[in-house]
Amino acid sequence: MQNFVFQNPTKILFGKGQIARLNDEIPTQARVLVTYGGGSVKRNGTLAEVRAALAGRTVFEFGGVEPNPTYETLMRAVDLARKESVDFLLAVGGGSVVDGTKFISAAVPFVGEPWDIVAKKGMIEQVVPFGVVLTLPATGSEMNPAAVITRKASRDKLGFINRMVYPRFSILDPVKTYTLPPRQVANGVIDAFVHVIEQYLTFPAGAAVQDRFAEGLLLTLIEEGPKALVSPQDYDVRANIMWCATLALNGLISAGVPQDWTTHMIGHELTVLYGLDHAQTLAIVLPATLTVLREAKRAKLLQYASRIWGIATTDEDAAINEAIARTRGFFESLGVPTRLAAYGVSAAGIPTVVEQLRRHGLLALGERQAVTLEVSERILALCA
Which residues would be at the binding site for ligand NZQ (CB under 6 A)?
A: 37-41, 44, 67-68, 93-97, 99, 135-136, 138-141, 144, 146-148, 176-177, 179-180, 184, 187, 191, 249, 264, 278
AA letter at 288: A
Binding region for Zn ion (CB under 5 A) out of 185-193, 300-308, 324-332, 345-353: 185-193
Binding region for Zn ion (CB under 5 A) out of 49-57, 112-120, 188-196, 222-230: 188-196
Residue 41: name its binding partner from Zn ion, ligand NZQ, none (Cβ under 5 to 8 Å by kind).
ligand NZQ
| Nearest residue to Zn ion on Cβ basis | 191
- Out of 99, 142, 191, 224, the only residue in the binding site for Zn ion (CB under 5 A) is 191
37 or 366: CB nearest ligand NZQ: 37
238 or 278: CB nearest Zn ion: 278
18 or 303: CB nearest ligand NZQ: 18
Taking the complex as a whole, the smallest distance from the CB of residue 319 to ligand NZQ amounts, in Å, to 28
Taking the complex as a whole, the smallest distance from the CB of residue 198 to Zn ion amounts, in Å, to 9
Taking the complex as a whole, the smallest distance from the CB of residue 188 to ligand NZQ amounts, in Å, to 6
Establish if 211 lies at the interface with Zn ion (CB under 5 A).
no
Binding site for Zn ion (CB under 5 A): 191
